[in-house]
């Protein structure tokens, strides 16, 4: 039994609960027709409820914008050492702040921060990619607003990709950065939208996908077609894990973190 199989055998789950609501039945690609965005001059990080300025990072949007200088897609794409990837999906202020974030925001911030730290300290180091969603005008993740900014400041060798759809591979350069045979560790937001769509797309292109329990989350859902009842976020997260595991995603727990980025 290899290391990855041992990690899988140890997996179990631990969830949290409610705040905001989303409607059931929303199309996973319903964010499609939006305009390209500009590159911000600053980004923001969140310390509890405080937002502070941090240096801006190069970005890659859904159309023609390219990575800057030494972050070019040609220098990162299919690099022999990038057989393992940490993909941070929509780890943005609006989704992870105490005021507007998902029910498990505090726990998610701590866990994702720990995973990111582990990846940065690993040798060989995985390719770390930050994906940022761009909402419409007036939405919490409207471009160049505080809620749109990434919670975790990318380092100079960590590309940032801006997307318009739930599937982070759709209309972006993500597929050029990640080798088809790479192992992808996925964390971020939201379980029933971008996490589900991106994990499914990655499986479809042949990648091995690892999803960490306690490092992805979503909001409570109002069941508008079933009398207006509320399905807790923790239930939705669990359902998505079961669905993705059945499709071929490997589920791991935070206790498995020390072995995730190691050579196996």
Cβ neighbours around 157 below 10 Å, total: 13
Domain of residue 84: give its range: 3-260
Each residue's pLDDT expressed in tens, for the chain with a length of 264 residues = 444 444 444 444 343 333 333 333 334 444 333 333 333 333 333 333 333 333 344 444 433 333 332 333 434 455 545 699 999 999 999 999 999 999 999 999 999 999 999 999 999 999 999 999 999 999 999 999 999 999 999 999 999 999 999 999 999 999 999 999 999 999 999 999 999 999 999 999 999 999 999 999 999 999 888 778 999 999 999 999 999 999 999 999 999 999 899 876
Alpha carbon distance 219, 138 (integer Å): 19
Q: CATH code at 221? A: 3.40.50.850
Q: Is 208 helix (H, G, I), strand (E, B) or coil?
A: strand
Tokens of 24: 């059931």
15 CB neighbour count, 10 Å cutoff = 18
Q: Which pLDDT belongs to residue 71? A: 38
Give the model's pLDDT for residue 257: 96
CB 177 within 8 A of CB 127: yes
Instruction: Count the neighbouring beta carbons within 10 Å of the beta carbon of residue 39.
Output: 16
Helix/strand/coil for 202: helix
Report the number of distinct structural domains present in the chain: 1
For residues 2 and 202, is the Cβ–Cβ distance under 8 A? no
């Amino acid at each position: 039994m290899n290391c990855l199989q041992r990690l899988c055998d140890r997996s179990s789950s631990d969830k949290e609960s409610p705040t905001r609501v989303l409607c059931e039945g929303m199309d996973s690609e319903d964010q499609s027709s939006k305009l390209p965005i500009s590159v911000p001059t600053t980004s923001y990080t969140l310390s509890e409820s405080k937002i502070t300025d941090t240096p801006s990072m190069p970005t890659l949007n859904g159309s023609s914008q390219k990575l800057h200088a030494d972050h070019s897609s040609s220098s990162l794409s299919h690099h022999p050492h990038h057989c393992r990837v940490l993909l941070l999906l929509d780890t943005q202020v609006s989704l992870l702040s105490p005021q507007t974030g998902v029910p498990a925001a505090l726990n998610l911030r701590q866990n994702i921060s720990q995973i990111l730290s582990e990846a940065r300290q690993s040798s060989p180091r995985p390719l770390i990619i930050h994906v940022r969603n761009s909402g419409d005008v007036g939405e919490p993740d409207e471009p160049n607003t505080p809620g749109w900014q990434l919670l975790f400041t990318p380092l100079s060798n960590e590309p940032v990709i801006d997307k318009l759809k739930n599937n982070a591979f759709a209309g972006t350069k993500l597929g050029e950065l990640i080798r088809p045979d790479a192992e992808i560790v996925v964390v971020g937001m939201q379980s029933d939208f971008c996490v589900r769509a991106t994990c499914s797309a990655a499986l479809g292109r042949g990648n091995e996908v690892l999803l960490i329990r306690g490092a992805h989350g979503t909001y409570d859902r109002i069941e508008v077609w079933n009398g207006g009842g509320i399905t807790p976020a923790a239930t939705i997260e669990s359902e998505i894990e079961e669905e993705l595991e059945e499709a071929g995603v490997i589920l791991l727990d935070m206790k498995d973190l020390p072995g995730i980025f190691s050579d196996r």
